[in-house]
């Protein structure tokens, strides 16, 4: 058994002085076949520990059924870390932020109209208790107290930025201890939130990206003795649709790292390797204006989105080597990449016309929210009829997050939450015309009070001030496209459509799907959901992990919500994450 201890100014491991040099590596953002590669590279950079969040919404997508298998095999991930000589910091939430859909909180919590998330609301805590009771039995053997690599477990996540309810934090501590977690616990907060986010008998850690001396001094003010630990050293940052690709010079980040290591602190890089928000898993921010996060979570990390060492990787190793031993040997090289100049997508299938095979319709006098339909991500298609012909004003009073409007099957406009749009002028062609609203969940807010982020139509829909009724609501999670019926494309589809083509590969390798000329939508390779694309940028390619491909024929499917210049894509050897300045 291994025991993590503390002294007046640091950590001990089995009684010997120990400095934690850790890096965040999220198993859920990395293809499982790449886990070991990323761990080997963590070790060579000089890390002795890896850190991961645990996303509740992935492990319990439907209430009462907790998964810990396949791509969510957390015990396997932790075991691999131990095989590679790495300790583990585990951050199980229940809230994780992480620029992740809803901060990791399951969408089904929001089916309760007035539930108070991240609080002592019994409806929330009962759900946490049930989740922990199913999750922790599979993880107890990974704890250092039982011979595993997990040295410590985090309580909540930056709670001081959200509230100051010590009773809530205490209840979470009790739940962890009650489920057998007997290793040290810790909290993490930004310098200004340390007083609100901690407990007297739980180790406090601090999060920051710069001004290390000042941040560590704030930690020491609130925790006069014990280890100095930066539990999130923000060496890069994330990107938002419509923004630019955020980068940080390697020399600048390395200087901050040297500053904190010189001060005797332990560190956890956020991120060591960012990975990808595959599928519909990206989060969003809303500080008055809604801003969804892009698919790539490259984060300008030491390892790129494809796991290749960057200048920052080598700069950090040089700094670490000044303060701790690093492994000898040659540096890891970038992996092989695949390039195919053009892949024609020759077949197509309409989205609206395929709704019946993609989801089950429910009828009511009002539109159901996505949560009321029992779904968390994807789209909802709302349909009704309009009895009066002629010019009219459509008012979708509340929705999340983007509405495409169709009359008699023809696109007539778009409303966007981030642009604070609600009203659209249109002309109804004839009495009884079909009105369809396709609403996209672009990612639930992951930070701040707006995490109570319901999706779909969340308020009345008015036409010339009169509320429309008799709605059909169809959730379209797009988690299974097998029943789509494709036909050869004979012309530009009217409205959203799936496009499909085949690319032949001799030897699979990492590659990047280029969607130049496409507008907005999602892409899959061999049924694996790569994520979202949008011409708004900054991201212009989607990462395709090598294990997703196979020798021979590979199927590429693209859902285009608007239109494309030409139904063709390319596989590139280099990513394009967009310009670094606006």
Do 219 and 317 fall within a single domain? yes
Confidence label for 582 from pLDDT (cuts 50, 70 and 90): low
Indicate if the pLDDT at residue 567 is higher than 70. yes
> Which of 476, 510, 525 delimits the end of a domain?
476
pLDDT of 285-327, one tens digit each? Answer: 999 999 999 999 999 999 999 999 999 999 999 999 999 999 9
Confidence label for 493 from pLDDT (cuts 50, 70 and 90): confident
* pTM, two decimal places: 0.97
Do 161 and 236 fall within a single domain? yes
Point out which residues pair with 53 in neighbouring strands.
91
Catalytic residue, from 156, 232, 240, 383: name it: 232
> Which of 434, 452, 476 delimits the end of a domain?
476
Do 255 and 290 fall within a single domain? yes
Cα 555 from Cα 558, distance rounded (Å): 10
| Number of domains the chain is built from | 3
Do 312 and 392 fall within a single domain? no
pLDDT of 177-219, one tens digit each? Answer: 999 999 999 999 999 999 999 999 999 999 999 999 999 999 9
Q: Does residue 581 lie in a domain region?
A: no
Catalytic residue, from 158, 371, 372, 383: name it: 158
Domain residues for 413? 360-476
Do 57 and 167 fall within a single domain? yes
Q: Does residue 445 lie in a domain region?
A: yes
pLDDT of 126-137, one tens digit each? Answer: 999 999 999 999
Do 264 and 373 fall within a single domain? no
Q: What CA dihedral angle connects 473, 102, 95 and 371, to 10 degrees?
A: -10
Do 51 and 73 fall within a single domain? yes
Do 239 and 178 fall within a single domain? yes
Beta strands in 419-519 (DSSP E): 423-428, 433-440, 456-457, 461-463, 466-467, 471-476, 487-488, 497-505, 511-514
Identify the CATH number of the domain in which residue 176 sits: 3.20.20.80
Cα 494 from Cα 195, distance rounded (Å): 56
Q: Does residue 518 lie in a domain region?
A: yes
Per DSSP, the residues of 197-260 read H--TTSEEEEEESS-HHHHHHHHHHH-SSS--EEEEEESS---BTTS------HHHHHHHHHHH
Tokens of 164: 């100051």
Do 438 and 366 fall within a single domain? yes
Cα 280 from Cα 257, distance rounded (Å): 33
From 69, 124, 74, select the one nearest 95 (Cα to Cα).
Answer: 124
Cα 376 from Cα 444, distance rounded (Å): 9
Instruction: Give mean pLDDT, residues 473-493.
Output: 95
Active site residue 158: yes
């Amino acid at each position: 058994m291994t025991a993590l201890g503390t002294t007046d100014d640091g950590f001990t491991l089995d009684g010997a002085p120990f400095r934690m040099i850790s890096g965040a590596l999220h198993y859920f953002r990395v293809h499982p076949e790449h886990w070991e590669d990323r761990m080997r590279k963590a070790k060579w950079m000089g890390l002795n520990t890896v850190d991961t969040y645990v996303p509740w919404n992935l492990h319990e997508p439907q209430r009462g059924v907790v998964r810990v298998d396949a791509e969510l095999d957390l015990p396997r991930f932790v075991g691999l870390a131990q095989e590679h000589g790495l300790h583990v910091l585990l951050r199980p939430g229940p809230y994780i932020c992480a620029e992740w859909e809803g901060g990791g909180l399951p969408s089904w919590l929001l089916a309760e109209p007035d539930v108070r998330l991240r609080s002592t609301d019994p409806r929330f805590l009962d759900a946490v208790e049930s989740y922990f009771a199913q999750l922790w039995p599979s993880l107890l053997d990974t704890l250092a107290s039982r011979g595993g690599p997990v040295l410590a477990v985090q309580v909540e996540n930056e709670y001081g930025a959200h509230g100051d309810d010590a009773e809530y934090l205490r209840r979470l501590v009790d739940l962890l201890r009650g489920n057998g977690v007997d290793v040290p616990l810790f909290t993490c907060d930004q310098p200004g939130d340390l007083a609100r986010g901690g407990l007297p008998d739980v180790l406090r850690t601090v999060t920051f990206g710069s001004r290390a001396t000042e941040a560590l001094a704030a930690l020491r003010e609130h925790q006069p003795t014990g280890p100095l630990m930066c539990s999130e050293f923000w060496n890069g940052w994330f990107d938002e649709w419509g923004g630019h690709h955020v980068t940080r010079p390697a020399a600048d980040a390395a200087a901050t790292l040297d500053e904190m290591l010189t001060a005797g602190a332990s560190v956890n890089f956020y991120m060591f390797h960012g990975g990808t928000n595959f599928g519909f898993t990206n989060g969003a921010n809303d500080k008055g204006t809604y801003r969804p996060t892009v698919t790539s979570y490259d984060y300008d990390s030491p390892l790129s989105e494809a796991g290749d060492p960057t200048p920052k990787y080598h700069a950090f190793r040089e700094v670490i080597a000044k303060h701790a031993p690093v492994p000898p040997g040659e540096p890891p090289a970038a992996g092989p990449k695949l390039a195919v100049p053009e892949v024609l997508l020759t077949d197509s299938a309409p989205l609206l016309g395929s709704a019946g095979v993609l989801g089950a319709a429910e009828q009511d006098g009002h539109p159901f929210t996505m949560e009321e339909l029992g779904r968390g991500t994807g789209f909802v298609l709302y349909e009704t009829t309009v009895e009066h012909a002629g010019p009219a004003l459509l008012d979708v009073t509340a929705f999340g997050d983007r509405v495409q409007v169709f009359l008699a099957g023809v696109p007539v406009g778009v409303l966007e939450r981030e642009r604070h749009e609600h009203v659209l002028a249109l002309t109804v062609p004839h009495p009884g015309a079909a009105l369809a609203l396709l609403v996209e969940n672009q990612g639930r807010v992951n930070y701040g009070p707006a995490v109570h982020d319901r999706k779909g139509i969340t308020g009345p829909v008015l036409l010339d001030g009169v509320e429309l009724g008799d709605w059909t609501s169809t959730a379209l999670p797009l988690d299974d496209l097998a029943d789509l019926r494709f036909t050869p494309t004979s012309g530009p589809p009217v409205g959203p459509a799936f496009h499909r083509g085949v690319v032949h590969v001799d030897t699979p390798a990492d590659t990047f799907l280029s969607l130049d000329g496409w507008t907005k939508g999602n892409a899959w390779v061999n049924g694996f959901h790569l994520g979202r694309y949008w011409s708004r940028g900054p991201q212009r390619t989607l990462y395709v992990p090598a294990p997703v491909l196979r020798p021979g024929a590979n199927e590429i499917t693209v859902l285009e919500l608007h239109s494309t210049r030409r139904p063709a894509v390319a596989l590139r050897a280099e990513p394009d994450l967009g310009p670094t300045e606006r």
